[in-house]
């Protein structure tokens, strides 16, 4: 028998530096920025902008996509557009950022012995030799701006119209306005600020679907599984976290020799990315809670990422009978489920009208959980099912 086909067919698209060709759910934001820059630059005027948003909300992806699109679109006001990208996190001083900028206009200076204004002169010479619109992307700009940068002010004020223009895009997870000096603030007024809302579960599912299409063999992951991952990442709205889980789950599936990614692989990937339920936490659970978790763990091993609550209740009743314990009332069963949800151990999704809720769990691989819970609820006797 031949080994199963690979799942990860284009793994490089999971690289943190990879910029996807299409940004799902950010069309409006990308369109707005793109219009503003084109309008400005086609009149020979700079446009400055501050982009903020939470971790993994797509700030870097958005501005890099914008940059690539602007560079590709060709000349504006008869000049080419160049979009250097600088991550300020590791270059948190005006001088080190300036050295990068010099390289972007193809001049180099030794790292020592030049003042900022001398560097700016050389920078202008570089632009003079090759007139262009520069749109400078300063990512992780908080590191720079909080050090009372002069560079933001100097660059946002330069107006070398005949040589082209210099625009600034500051990217940060927090509002930088309070840290800017008053003249720079006026350059980043209300219409020059864009704040990205966190992704919700549906948006994360779409983002995952798009990335799966790029990175994975067609048919190797169901949308239901992507939704399971999105549910894990939804509380933070962090697309990077969601994509990391997808990559981890794809690896786990390949390690298993599976044809496709299963709920179990997602749980395993998530388990290795997050500190999960500790054994101490497990010991704090009541026997009722343990019973419901065990029934859920078993049901999930056989089913997909979530199981209808009716089915779970039936599986739980069977387990209780097997253990020779007294049956649990419907009310107690629900209360227990709600407690587990409140503790963040299970997720409860209302089903469609007339259908029962869907119960999911992402905390630990079902296999490990089954073992741990069986130890507490009756050992090997509970292992038959
Ligand atoms: N709308 C989207 N469509 C497709 N992929 C996206 C989208 N938004 C974000 N991503 C992907 O999610 C990951 C995180 O996005 P990105 O790095 O842009 O977030 P960020 O806001 O810059 O986060 P941080 O604050 O940590 O720098 C990247 O792999 C990116 O390609
Ligand atoms: Mg970023």
The model's pLDDT over 309-355, given as tens digits with 9 standing for 90+, comes to 999 999 999 988 887 888 899 999 999 998 888 776 788 888 776 67
From ligand 1's centre to the CA of 243, what distance in Å?
9
- What is the DSSP code (8-state) at residue 14? G
Ligand 1 pocket, residue 207 CB under 6 Å: yes
Higher pLDDT: 362 or 138? It is 138
- Res 63: pLDDT: 98
pLDDT in tens, 170-184: 999 999 988 888 888
**C-beta of residue 58 within 8 angstroms of C-beta of residue 23:** yes
For ligand 1, atom 4: residue with the closest CA: 23
CATH numeric code, 11-15+199-273: 1.10.8.60
Kindly tell me if the per-residue pLDDT of 277 is higher than 60: no
Burial class of 18 by CB neighbour count within 10 A (0 to 12, 13 to 18, 19+): middle
From ligand 1's centre to the CA of 20, what distance in Å?
9
Distance set, CA 152 to CA 138, 140, 167, 240 (Å)? 10, 13, 10, 29
Ligand 1 pocket, residue 205 CB under 6 Å: no
**C-beta of residue 291 within 8 angstroms of C-beta of residue 319:** yes
From ligand 2's centre to the CA of 66, what distance in Å?
14
Q: For the ranges 20-24, 192-196, 306-310, 352-356, which has the lowest average pLDDT?
A: 352-356
CA dihedral 218, 224, 229, 231 (to 10 degrees): 150
Residues pairing with 85 in the sheet:
137
Q: Compute the distance between CA of residue 38 and CA of residue 46 in angstroms, rounded to an integer.
A: 10
Ligand 1 pocket, residue 59 CB under 6 Å: yes
Q: Give me the mean pLDDT over the 34-58 stretch.
A: 93
Percent of residues, the chain, with pLDDT higher than 70: 86
Nearest-atom number in ligand 1 for the CA of 238 is 14
Hey, which of 239, 242, 247 would you mutate to test ligand 1's pocket, going by the most ligand atoms within 8 Å of its Cβ? 239
**C-beta of residue 323 within 8 angstroms of C-beta of residue 381:** yes
The ligand placed nearest to the CA atom of residue 199 is 1
Q: Compute the distance between CA of residue 319 and CA of residue 315 in angstroms, rounded to an integer.
A: 6
CATH fold label, 27-196: Rossmann fold (3.40.50)
Ligand 1 pocket, residue 53 CB under 6 Å: yes
Ligand 1 pocket, residue 61 CB under 6 Å: yes
Q: How far from chain centre, in Å, is Cα 145?
A: 24
**C-beta of residue 220 within 8 angstroms of C-beta of residue 7:** yes
From ligand 2's centre to the CA of 50, what distance in Å?
13
Confidence label for 268 from pLDDT (cuts 50, 70 and 90) = confident
- Res 350: pLDDT: 81
**In this structure, which long-range contacts are made by residues 204-209, counting pairs with CB atoms below 8 Å and at least 24 apart in sequence?**
204/229, 204/230, 204/233, 204/234, 204/237, 204/239, 204/242, 205/229, 205/230, 206/24, 206/25, 207/24, 207/25, 207/239, 207/242, 207/243, 208/242, 208/243, 208/246
From ligand 2's centre to the CA of 59, what distance in Å?
6
Ligand 1 pocket, residue 60 CB under 6 Å: yes
Residues pairing with 216 in the sheet:
8
Selection from 29-38, 42-51, 229-238 with the highest mean pLDDT: 29-38
Ligand 1 pocket, residue 55 CB under 6 Å: yes
The ligand placed nearest to the CA atom of residue 58 is 1
Residues in the 5 Å CB sphere of ion ligand 2: 60
Q: Give me the mean pLDDT over the 197-212 stretch.
A: 97
Whether the domain at 11-15+199-273 and the domain at 27-196 fall into the same CATH topology: no
Residues pairing with 170 in the sheet:
50, 138
Ligand 1 pocket, residue 134 CB under 6 Å: no
For ligand 1, atom 13: residue with the closest CA: 240
From ligand 2's centre to the CA of 118, what distance in Å?
31
Q: For CA atoms 265, 268, 272, 276, give the dihedral sign.
A: positive
Ligand 1 pocket, residue 63 CB under 6 Å: no
Confidence label for 249 from pLDDT (cuts 50, 70 and 90) = very high
- Res 362: pLDDT: 67
Residue 328 φ then ψ, to 5° = -105, 135
Q: Give me the mean pLDDT over the 211-218 stretch.
A: 97
Cβ-count burial 330-364 (b if 16+ within 10 Å, e if not): eeebeebbebbeeeebbbbeeeeeeeebbbbbbbb
Contacts of 224 (CB under 8 A, 6+ apart): 304, 305, 306
Confidence label for 385 from pLDDT (cuts 50, 70 and 90) = very low
The ligand placed nearest to the CA atom of residue 198 is 1
Kindly tell me if the per-residue pLDDT of 32 is higher than 90: yes
Q: Give me the mean pLDDT over the 226-252 stretch.
A: 92
From ligand 1's centre to the CA of 92, what distance in Å?
22
93 backbone φψ class: left, alpha, beta (φ>0; ψ -120 to 50): beta
Nearest-atom number in ligand 1 for the CA of 53 is 21
- Res 143: pLDDT: 87
- Res 381: pLDDT: 45
Confidence label for 80 from pLDDT (cuts 50, 70 and 90) = very high
Kindly tell me if the per-residue pLDDT of 379 is higher than 70: no
Ligand 1 pocket, residue 56 CB under 6 Å: yes
Q: Compute the distance between CA of residue 73 and CA of residue 317 in angstroms, rounded to an integer.
A: 64
- Res 255: pLDDT: 93
Q: Compute the distance between CA of residue 63 and CA of residue 48 in angstroms, rounded to an integer.
A: 12
Confidence label for 208 from pLDDT (cuts 50, 70 and 90) = very high
Q: Give me the mean pLDDT over the 264-286 stretch.
A: 69
- Res 372: pLDDT: 64
Domain 279-383 CATH assignment equals 1.10.10.10: yes
Q: Give me the mean pLDDT over the 188-216 stretch.
A: 94
- Res 373: pLDDT: 64
Kindly tell me if the per-residue pLDDT of 275 is higher than 50: no
pLDDT in tens, 85-143: 999 987 778 988 999 999 999 888 877 788 888 898 888 888 888 889 999 999 999 98
pLDDT in tens, 52-70: 999 899 999 999 999 999 9
Kindly tell me if the per-residue pLDDT of 368 is higher than 70: no
Mean pLDDT of the chain: 86
Q: Give me the mean pLDDT over the 177-203 stretch.
A: 89
Any idea where the domains of the chain sit in the sequence?
11-15+199-273, 27-196, 279-383
Q: Compute the distance between CA of residue 30 and CA of residue 70 in angstroms, rounded to an integer.
A: 11
- Res 86: pLDDT: 94
17 backbone φψ class: left, alpha, beta (φ>0; ψ -120 to 50): alpha
Q: Give me the mean pLDDT over the 43-49 stretch.
A: 91
Nearest-atom number in ligand 1 for the CA of 57 is 21
Confidence label for 364 from pLDDT (cuts 50, 70 and 90) = low
**C-beta of residue 349 within 8 angstroms of C-beta of residue 307:** no
């Amino acid at each position: 028998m031949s080994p199963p086909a690979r799942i990860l067919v284009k793994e490089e698209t999971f690289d943190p530096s990879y910029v996807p060709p299409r940004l799902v759910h950010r069309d409006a934001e990308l369109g707005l920025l793109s219009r503003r820059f084109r309008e400005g630059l086609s009149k020979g005027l700079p446009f400055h902008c501050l982009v903020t948003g939470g971790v993994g909300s797509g700030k870097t992806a958005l501005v890099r996509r914008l940059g690539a699109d602007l560079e590709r679109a060709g000349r504006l006001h008869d000049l080419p557009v160049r979009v250097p990208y600088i991550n300020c996190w590791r270059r948190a001083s005006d001088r080190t950022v300036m050295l990068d900028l010099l390289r972007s206009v193809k001049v180099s200076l030794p790292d020592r012995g030049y003042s900022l204004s001398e560097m700016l002169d050389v920078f202008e010479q570089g632009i003079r030799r090759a007139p262009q619109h520069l749109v400078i992307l300063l990512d992780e700009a908080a590191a720079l701006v909080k050090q009372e940068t002069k560079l933001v002010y100097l660059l946002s004020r330069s107006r070398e119209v005949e040589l082209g223009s210099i625009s600034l895009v500051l990217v940060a997870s927090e509002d930088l306005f309070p840290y800017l000096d008053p003249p720079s603030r006026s350059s980043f007024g209300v219409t020059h600020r864009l704040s990205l809302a966190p992704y919700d579960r549906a948006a994360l599912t779409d983002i995952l679907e798009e990335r799966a299409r790029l990175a994975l063999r067609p048919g190797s992951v169901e949308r239901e599984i992507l939704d399971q991952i999105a549910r894990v990442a939804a509380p933070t709205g962090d697309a990077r976290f969601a994509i990391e889980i997808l990559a981890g789950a794809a690896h786990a599936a390949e390690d298993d020799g599976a044809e496709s990614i299963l709920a179990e692989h997602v749980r395993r990937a998530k388990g290795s990315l997050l500190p999960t339920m500790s054994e101490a936490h497990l010991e704090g659970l009541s026997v009722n809670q343990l019973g419901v978790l065990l029934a859920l763990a078993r049901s999930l091993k056989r089913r997909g990422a979530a199981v209808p609550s009716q089915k779970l209740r039936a599986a739980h009743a069977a387990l209780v009978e097997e253990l020779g314990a007294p049956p649990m009332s419907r009310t107690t069963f629900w209360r227990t489920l709600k407690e587990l949800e409140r503790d963040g151990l299970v997720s409860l999704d209302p089903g469609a009208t007339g259908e029962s809720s869907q119960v999911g769990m992402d905390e630990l691989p079902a296999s490990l959980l089954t073992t741990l819970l069986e130890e507490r609820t009756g050992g090997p006797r509970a292992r038959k099912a």
